[in-house]
Amino acid sequence: MTFTEFAPERLLAILPESLLFLLAVAMLTLDLVWKPSRRRILGWLAASGVTLILLATLAFGQPPADEPLVLGGMVRWDWLAFAFTILILFTAAVTCLISVNVEGVGNRGDYYGLLLISTMGMVLMASSADLIMLFLAIETTSIPLYVLAGFLKADDKSTESGLKYFLFGAVTTAVMLYGFSLIYGFTGETNLYLIADAMKAAGLSLLLVGGIAVLVLVGFSFKIAAVPFHFWAPDVYEGAPTPVTAYVSTASKVAGFAVLVRVMMLAFPSIDAFWAAILAAMAAATMTLGNVLAIAQSNIKRLLAYSSIAHAGYALIGLVALSVFGVASMMFYLLAYVVTNLAAFAVVILFARAAGSDEIKDYAGLSRRSPWLALVLLIAFLSLAGMPPFAGFVAKVFVFKAAVDSGLIWLAFVGVLNSIIGLYYYLIVLKVVYLYRSEDDHLPVQVPRPYAVALAACTLLILVVGIVSAPWLDWSIGAARSLF
C-alpha cells in the first residue's frame, strides 16, 4: 500500500464532504439574512441541495479502479465508502424533507446547518482510513447530533435526551480513544492499512491485541446502539425531535457500521475469530433484548427505538459471517432498514402533528382517518417485521444465508426466532391502526407536500428493493469486495 502523490482530480474523493460543508454554511447564512417568514423553504432548499450532492457524487465521485488512499492516506476512495456515502446522503435528504413542518426545528437554519455538518462527518466516517481522521469524523458526527437531540430548549424531554446522549457518547468515545492510543503506541502507525502488518512485525501478543479490540469496540457499539451499549437509545429516541430521532436511528447507525466493518476487517485480521465471537454474542443479545423490550412499549417512538436496536443485531449477523457475501448482506440489510425506518418515522411525525401524541393507543382509527398513511405504516411495519414482498424480508434472508454459509447456524436460528417476536409487536400496532376506532375518525391527518415526497420515495424503495433485489445485492457485493 503506497500513498499516491497529490493530484487535483483526487480531490473528487471528498466531493460530497466539501459540498455538504458549503451547503451547511449557506444554511447558516440564509438563516441570518432571511426574514422568519421566508425561512420556511430552508428545508426544501437543504433537501434539494443534498439531492444534488447525491447526484453529483453518483456522477463524479465514483472511485477509480485502483481504489487509492488519498490525501496523505487519510481517506480511502473505494466502492465501500461510495456505497455508504450514497446511503447516508439519501437519509440526509429525506430527513431534511420530514423536518420542514416540525414545530421549532423546521424553519431554523442552524438546525439544517448542524444536520448537514453531521452528515459530512458520517460521510467521512465511511471513507476514513486513518485513526486520527476516524476520530475527527466520529466527533464531527456526534457533537452536532448531541446539540440536535437537545435542540428544543423549551422541552424538558428534549434537553434531557441531549444530555444523556452527550454523556454516553463522550464516555464511550474516550474509551475508544484509549484503544486508539494503544494501537498507535504499540505499532507507531495510525493508518488502518498499515496497522495489521505493524502489529505482526512488532510481535504483539494476541491477548493484548484482543484487549485493544475490545476497547475500540466499545465506541463503535455505542454508535450502532448494540447491547450492552444501547442504554441511551430509547431515551434519546423518545426525547429528541422526531426527525432527529429518524436521523440518529438510520444515518448514524449506518455510519457506525461503516466504521465497524472497515476497522475490524483491516486492523484486527489476526484475531478475527475472537472479535467475531464477541460480535456474534452481541448480535444475539442485541436482537433478543431489543425485541423483547419492544413488546412492552406504549410509546411509538420508544417502540421504534427498541426495534432499531434489534435491527442492529440482525445487521451484525452479516458482519460476523466474515465473508464477502456476509458484508454485502449487512449492507443490503442496512439499505432495507434505512428506507423502511424513515417511512415509519415520517408517519409518526405526521400523526404527532395532527394528534399531538406519540402513544400507540392514540393511533386507533388511523386507517379511517387517512387510509394512505395507514397503508404506508402497514408496508413499513411489515417490512421491518420481515414479511415478503418487502425489502426487510429479502434483507433478512440474505443475512441468515450468510450466517448459515459460515457455519453459524445457531445465530441464524436466534435471528429467525427473533423475527417472530418482532412480528408480534409490529402487528399489535397495526391492529390498533386498522381494527380500533376513535372519535376523530372523520378528521384526516394532513400530509404536507415534503412529507408526501419523502413517503413516496421511501415506500417505492421498500417495494423496489424487496421485489427487484438482485441489482442492489450486486451493488453491495461490489462494495464489500473492497475489503477483501
Partner 1 sequence: MVPLSWYLILAAALFAVGIFGVLARRNAIAILMGIELMLNAVNLNLLAFWRYLWSDNLTGVVFVIMVLAVAAAEVAVGLALIISIYRRRSTVVAEEIDLLKW
Q: Residue 423 Cβ, how far from partner 1 at the closest point, in Å?
A: 23
Q: Residue 238 Cβ, how far from partner 1 at the closest point, in Å?
A: 6
Q: DSSP labels for 399-468?
A: HHHHHHHTT-HHHHHHHHHHHHHHHHHHHHHHHHHHH---TTTTSPPP--HHHHHHHHHHHHHHHHHHHS
Q: Residue 176 Cβ, how far from partner 1 at the closest point, in Å?
A: 10
Nearer to partner 1, 75 or 457 (CB): 75
Nearer to partner 1, 219 or 392 (CB): 219
Q: Residue 131 Cβ, how far from partner 1 at the closest point, in Å?
A: 8
Nearer to partner 1, 31 or 235 (CB): 235
What is the total residue count of the chain?
Answer: 484
DSSP 130: B
Strands (E), 88-187: none
DSSP helix/strand/coil, 197: helix
Q: Residue 145 Cβ, how far from partner 1 at the closest point, in Å?
A: 10
| 337, containing H or E segment | helix 324-355
Q: Residue 256 Cβ, how far from partner 1 at the closest point, in Å?
A: 18
Q: Is the dihedral of CA 127, 131, 133, 134 positive or negative?
A: positive
CA distance from start to end of the chain: 14
Q: Distance between CA atoms of 8 and 442, rounded to whole angstroms?
A: 61
CA distances in angstroms from 325 to 225, 396, 480, listed in the order given: 24, 13, 8
Nearer to partner 1, 17 or 238 (CB): 238
Nearer to partner 1, 30 or 294 (CB): 294
Q: Residue 164 Cβ, how far from partner 1 at the closest point, in Å?
A: 7
Alpha helices (H) along 240-299: 242-247, 253-267, 272-295
483: which residues sit within 8 A by CB, 6+ positions away? 80, 261, 262, 265, 266, 327
Nearer to partner 1, 8 or 185 (CB): 185
Q: Residue 309 Cβ, how far from partner 1 at the closest point, in Å?
A: 14
Q: Residue 231 Cβ, how far from partner 1 at the closest point, in Å?
A: 10
Q: 8-29 burial, b for 16+ CB within 10 Å, e for fewer?
A: eebebbbbbbebbeebbebbee
Residues forming the site for partner 1 (CB under 8 A): 131-132, 135-136, 139, 143, 146-147, 150, 153-154, 156-157, 159-164, 166-167, 170-171, 174-175, 177-178, 180-182, 184-186, 188, 190, 234-235, 238-239
Nearer to partner 1, 175 or 463 (CB): 175
| 235, containing H or E segment | helix 232-239
Nearer to partner 1, 170 or 467 (CB): 170
CA distances in angstroms from 25 to 15, 20, 148, 220, 300, listed in the order given: 16, 9, 17, 29, 34
Nearer to partner 1, 167 or 206 (CB): 167
Question: Are 277 and 316 spatial neighbours (Cβ–Cβ below 8 Å)?
Answer: no
Q: Distance between CA atoms of 46 and 471, rounded to whole angstroms?
A: 29
**The C-alpha cell that represents 396 in the structure block:** 433478512
Q: Residue 235 Cβ, how far from partner 1 at the closest point, in Å?
A: 4
Nearer to partner 1, 240 or 320 (CB): 240
